[in-house]
Structures are given as C-alpha cells and as structure tokens.
A = this chain, B = another copy of it.
Amino acid sequence: MKLIIAIVHDEDAQGVVEKLTENGYGVTKLASTGGFLRAGNTTIFVGVEKEKVDKVIDIIKDMCKSRKEIATAPTPIMGNAGLLATYPVEVKVGGATIFVIDVDRFEKA
C-alpha cells in the first residue's frame, strides 16, 4: 500500500478529485496554501495498492499539467501617469508536486 500526497493548484483540484473518484480511487482533500505552488493549493491524499501508483500519477499529471494560458493584464502606459492599457500576457497555470510514501500498515474501521 502506498500513500500518494499531491499538492495541486485550487483551479485543478476539483477536476483531479473527480477524475480519481470516477476511476475508483479514494481521495481525501485538505485545504493548503503557499509554498510549493504559491497560494491557493489543495493537498490530496490517495491511498492505493502499489501496482496502481503509476495510474494515479498519470491522472494527476494529466489533470494538473503545468501549462501556459493567455490572460490580459492592465499595464501602465509609459509617460501617461494613471493610464492603463491591457496587453495579452502569458501566465503559467497548473502544476503538481507529488510524493509517494510507503504505508507500513493499512486499516479500515
């Protein structure tokens, strides 16, 4: 038995939890912030047989992959104090940090 601890962005949390649940994996979701992936993270715990670790990691990576999106950001116009123009900017979203931990003993009540 392995415990997979994944830290994912809030924006991807719902999707990855749903996908894992659909595939029959039990998922526990904890609110977390900061650090590995800045503010707005969710930590998820998934307990699985070791043969299924690869599948779970594939799902997490697939649902949370680091990607670039175009957003528009207001930018001050040089020499025109107080005037803002919006320009498209590339922002990085997604990403996950995944730890696989060995479980000594697993019990259900």
Contacts and interface: CB of A to CB of B under 8 A. Distances in A.
Interface residues of A, number: 49
Given A1-B99, A95-B108, A98-B107, A34 B43 contact: no
A97 to B, nearest CB: 6
A92 interface: no
The residue among A2, A34, A61, A109 with the most chain B CB atoms within 10 A of its own CB is A109
The residue among A34, A57, A108 with the most chain B CB atoms within 10 A of its own CB is A34
Interface string A10-21: 000000010011
Interface string A30-54: 1111111100010111110000010
Contact of A36 (B5, B34, B47): B47
B64 A109 contact: yes
Contact of A5 (B3, B32, B66, B102): B3
Contacts of A34: 17, 21, 27-29
Nearest to A57: B107
Contacts of A60: 109
